[in-house]
């Protein structure tokens, strides 16, 4: 089994071999895997945490079967901890699960899907950073008692000029430097976001699943369609739409016997990018022209706009699951 640590059973000699691949990088792993050249009976399990991608790629290149272990289910299969968790014990546990046929496996996406996922995660991170810097500006103005910014002020050149004037009139020299720095960072972030979004749109245009979802689902644009295809598509990924909702972390938690988690909250497990993209699509049903606006408005009146958008997001996920299930692996093909 591989992380930087390995633990495997040599079926020829019957010996269990343990050790580490150090340093843990692609070059060293490739050299280590050379010992298995020409053998067709080699399989390794890799835990689906940081670094699994290059390990899985090198295993495939060496002709070794790669099995990606789902971290949470793998930990559950271990049971109650009796000893400290180490790479050595993790490797042994993965080997035993794989040998017994009990390894909870994850899907290993093709390379172009992994690249699209990375772009989506980058875009999501840039948006989060952009929001954080805008909030810093609001905080500095409030701290100095300056007039509050109007909504959308930073989206126009005129608004930015007004902000600079307000900073000069109301802020201390340090406060002015804070605002000037924030504006420079925001400008750089927006330039990078524009470039990444352009790449995402190009990827969505060339992916069958993303094009079909954007064409058939209201509120789903190219980026959202790309996100749902990258994380939900693939033959037999989910047995039901409920599993897809749970995977995205949009299911509601229930009371559990350990009493560690409050019931009635979002689980927030799964890919944050997928959850964000579908939630943004759900918010589009606030428009009076949306096909499901009546339901959205009913839930909003009773529970609030956030709950209404979440309800729509779950509907969109379920519909997307059925569409992608119909497409099968064709959803991942070039359009």
H runs (alpha helix) in the chain: 26-33, 52-61, 71-78, 87-100, 111-143, 157-170, 173-205, 208-216, 222-232, 241-248, 272-283, 293-303, 305-327
Q: Is 261 left (phi over 0), alpha (psi -120 to 50) or beta?
A: beta
List pLDDT tens digits, range 144-188: 999 888 888 888 889 999 999 999 999 999 999 999 999 999 999
Reduced to 3 states (helix: H, G, I; strand: E, B; else coil), residue 2 is strand
Query: Residue 266: which residues within 8 A CB-CB, separation 6 or more?
Result: 249, 250, 251, 252, 253, 310
Query: Are residues 316 and 281 in contact, defined by beta-carbon separation less than 8 angstroms?
Result: yes
List pLDDT tens digits, range 218-251: 999 999 999 999 999 998 888 899 999 999 988 8
List pLDDT tens digits, range 48-104: 888 899 999 999 999 999 999 988 888 888 877 666 678 888 899 999 999 999 999
3-state secondary structure 235-251: CCCCCCHHHHHHHHCCC
For residue 170, what pLDDT is reported? 94
pTM, full prediction: 0.88
333 closest CA partner among 220, 246, 207: 207
3-state secondary structure 182-207: HHHHHHHHHHHHHHHHHHHHHHHHCE
Q: CA angle, corner 176, sides to 175 and 177, nearest 5?
A: 90
């Amino acid at each position: 089994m591989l992380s930087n640590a390995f633990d495997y059973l040599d079926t020829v000699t019957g010996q269990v071999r343990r050790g580490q691949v150090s340093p843990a990088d692609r070059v060293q792993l490739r050299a280590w895997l050379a010992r298995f050249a020409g053998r067709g009976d080699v399989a390794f399990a890799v835990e689906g945490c940081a670094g699994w991608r290059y390990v899985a790629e090198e295993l495939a290149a060496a002709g070794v079967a790669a099995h990606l272990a789902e971290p949470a289910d793998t930990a559950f299969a271990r049971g109650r901890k009796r000893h400290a968790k180490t790479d050595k014990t993790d490797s042994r546990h993965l080997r035993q699960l794989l040998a017994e046929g009990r390894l909870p496996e994850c899907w290993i996406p093709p390379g172009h899907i992994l690249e699209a996922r990375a772009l989506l995660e980058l875009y999501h991170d840039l948006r989060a950073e952009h929001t954080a810097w805008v909030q810093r500006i609001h905080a500095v103005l409030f701290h100095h008692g300056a007039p509050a910014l109007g909504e959308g002020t930073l989206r126009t050149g005129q608004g930015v000029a007004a902000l600079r004037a307000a900073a000069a009139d109301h802020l201390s020299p340090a406060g002015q430097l804070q605002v000037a720095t924030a504006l420079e960072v925001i400008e750089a972030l927006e330039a990078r976001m524009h470039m990444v979004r352009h790449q995402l749109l190009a990827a969505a245009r060339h992916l069958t699943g993303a094009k079909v979802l954007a064409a058939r689902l209201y509120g789903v644009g190219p980026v959202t369609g790309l996100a749902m295809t990258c994380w939900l598509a693939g033959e037999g990924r989910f047995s039901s739409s409920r599993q897809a909702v749970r995977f995205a972390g949009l299911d509601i938690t229930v009371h559990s016997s350990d009493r560690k988690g409050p019931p009635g909250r979002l689980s927030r497990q799964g890919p944050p990018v997928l959850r964000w993209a579908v939630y943004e699509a759900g918010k589009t049903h606030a428009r009076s022209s949306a096909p499901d606006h009546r339901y959205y408005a009913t839930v909003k009146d009773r529970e609030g706009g956030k709950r209404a958008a979440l309800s729509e997001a779950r509907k969109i996920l379920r519909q997307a699951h059925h569409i992608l299930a119909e497409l099968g692996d064709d959803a991942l093909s070039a359009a």
